[in-house]
Amino acid sequence: MKGSMVLCGVGGMGILKASEVIAHLVVQEGLSVRQSEVHGMAQRGGSVVTHLRYGEEVFSPLLFRGEADFMVAFEELEALRYLPYLRRGGTVILNRLTMCPPGFDPSRYPKHIPETLENAGFTVLAVPATDIALELGDIRVTNSVLLGVLSRVFPVGTEHSWEKALQKAFRGKALDLNLEAFWRGRG
């Protein structure tokens, strides 16, 4: 068993936390994990990406181009930005959210991103995770909705181990809401 994924979006969307949950999950299943993330300046509303690689033996915390099996994209434009890391035919968990970078004319924002990805040969699971999170009362659980979607196709972990991984990352009320969001995503 060996695999990898890329998670991407815009600073402040809970991408680091989502990566942390996945890292907990794969380790619970007896695998090793390496993960890379960005802090500091890049988090200020800029483009954010984390790489995650797992398996019996893992060394590099960074992916190679064309390697990742999965992409979890919290925003559509960011899916395009980090697409080169995804292997041909890989799976994109896509949040149906478009955020035009400040200062740019929205007409420049690429249209029909889900279709573009499908036409390029990727499997796309597009979900309005932010809308679902807002429905649940907290935009911050967008990440757990997307993890729920990922859990449908991710080869590692049972429902129970996903719940355990979420329990390691969240506490109290936040945990309840994130579990609810996860189940909404899992469907």
Residues engaged in binding another protein (CB under 8 A): 10-11, 19-20, 23-24, 27-28, 30, 32-47, 58-67, 77-78, 80-81, 83-88, 99-106, 108-110, 116, 120-122, 130, 139
CB of 47 to another protein, least distance (A): 4
In the complex with another protein, the residue whose CB is nearer, 109 or 183, is 109
CB 148, min distance to another protein, A: 21
Report the distance separating Cα 46 and Cα 27, nearest Å. 30
Q: How far is the CB of 82 from another protein (least distance, A)?
A: 10
Query: What residues are paired with 124 via a beta bridge?
Result: 92
Pick 16 or 152: Cβ nearer another protein = 16
- In the bound state with another protein, the residue whose beta carbon lies nearer, of 119 and 152, is 119
Nearer to another protein, 64 or 152 (CB): 64
Query: How far apart are CB 53 and another protein at their closest, in Å?
Result: 8
CB of 169 to another protein, least distance (A): 11
Single-letter residue type at 175: L
Nearer to another protein, 137 or 176 (CB): 137
For residues 28 and 157, give the distance between their C-alpha atoms in angstroms, rounded to a whole number. 8
CB of 182 to another protein, least distance (A): 19
Between 76 and 185, CB nearer to another protein: 76
Q: d(Cα 135, Cα 170) in Å, to the nearest integer?
A: 20
Distance CA 124, CA 156 (A): 19
